[in-house]
Structure 1
Amino acid sequence: MSVAKSAEAFRTISEAAKELDVPQHVLRHWEEVFGQVRPMRRAGGRRYYRPLDIDLLRGIRTLLYDQRFTTKGVQKIFKDEGVKYVSELGRRAAAGEVTDVRPVLDDEDAAKSADGKAPSEKVKENGDGVLELMPAAVVQPPGVLNPAMRKNLTTLLRRLETVQNALDQAILALEAINPEDDER
């Protein structure tokens, strides 16, 4: 029977991988791809992950696996928001808090979309143009849409339908110009 480690204890790569539910080679890969991941190393090169390292790795995991960001997207978040931001995301994920860092259209952008103009991509900002995690109170439970989100999605659906119609017309026009050779 083994005794559980305290939250402040360092973790080996196998313990970290088990806690984060990812293979060890993924942690090594993240160390190469994200220079911000720097576990402590002892003689022989054995890695030891501090609690802050685990929060950072959990934040990366959340962005890649839950939020579906690409590696480049996560690198951009590191560049724009910093290590503390990603670590805080990991800490919130460990606490079971709902986090959503995807861009959100504000009311001004939604109004522009309704007018048929291309909306500028904006994120939920803190006043300084910095991406913020949405507080848990703002995030709706799965399957529930708030009125603003429903309006944004309806507008987006209309725009996508317009684009689909334009593509269908373009295909018909191309087929009229270059009819397929049925005579072969």
Structure 2
Amino acid sequence: MSDPIIAKKAYYSIGEVCDITGLKPHVLRYWESQFEVLSPNKNRAGNRVYRPKDIEVVLLVKNLLYEEKYTIEGARQRLIEMRQAGELAEERQVVLDPEFLSIMKEELQGLKELLTRPDAT
């Protein structure tokens, strides 16, 4: 079962996924071209729509690249190994541990405060 923070909606826009994951849109688009398991659907307008499962995969890729220091090729191979061993769903959940989500929540709250702060002009 997905974490409640991610499972609030059935579909998310690329902007919402960027807010959730702390990544830029061009990074997500690049990762789509590099990782077969990351392939969000597109709506009628041609915009990417991410399901909660897709966001979990994005977070897993982010963890492999940024925390575990895999190269793109190494992360791609690791994802293939996880998929073949039936571990992909489990590993998607591992990156959603409470500490990780707590850090993400703090960062998002900081951004919200920064964006809603009244101008000093």
TM class by shorter-chain length? 0.5 to 0.7
How many residues are aligned here? 95
Cα 1:46–1:6, aligned 2, differ >3 Å: closer, same or farther? same
What secondary structure does 1:43 align onto? coil
Larger Rg: 1
Whole-angstrom CA distance in 2 between matches of 1:72 and 1:33: 8
Q: Deviations over 1:61-90 (max 9, x none)?
A: 100011111101111112222186344323
- Is 2:49 the counterpart of 1:67? no
Q: Which residue of 2 aligns with 1:158?
A: none
Q: Deviations over 1:147-171 (max 9, x none)?
A: xxxxxxxxxxxxxxxxxxxxxxxxx
Whole-angstrom CA distance in 2 between matches of 1:63 and 1:9: 25
RMSD: 2.4
- Is 2:58 the counterpart of 1:57? yes
Give 2:92's match in structure 1, choosing from 90, 93, 102. 90
- Is 2:14 the counterpart of 1:13? yes
* Structure 1 length-normalised TM: 0.46
Structure 1: gaps (5+ residues): 99-184
Cα 1:24–1:86, aligned 2, differ >3 Å: closer, same or farther? farther
Larger relative contact order, structure 1 or 2 (CA cutoff 8 Å, min sep 6): 2
State the AA in 1 paired with 2:37: Q
Q: Which residue of 2 aligns with 1:141?
A: none
Q: Which residue of 1 aligns with 2:49?
A: 48
Higher helix share: 2
Q: Which residue of 2 aligns with 1:76?
A: 77
Structure 2: gaps (5+ residues): 101-121
Deviation, 1:7, is: 2.7
Calculate percent identity across the aligned residue pairs.
Answer: 26
Q: Which residue of 1 aligns with 2:108?
A: none
Q: Which residue of 1 aligns with 2:106?
A: none
* Structure 2 length-normalised TM: 0.68
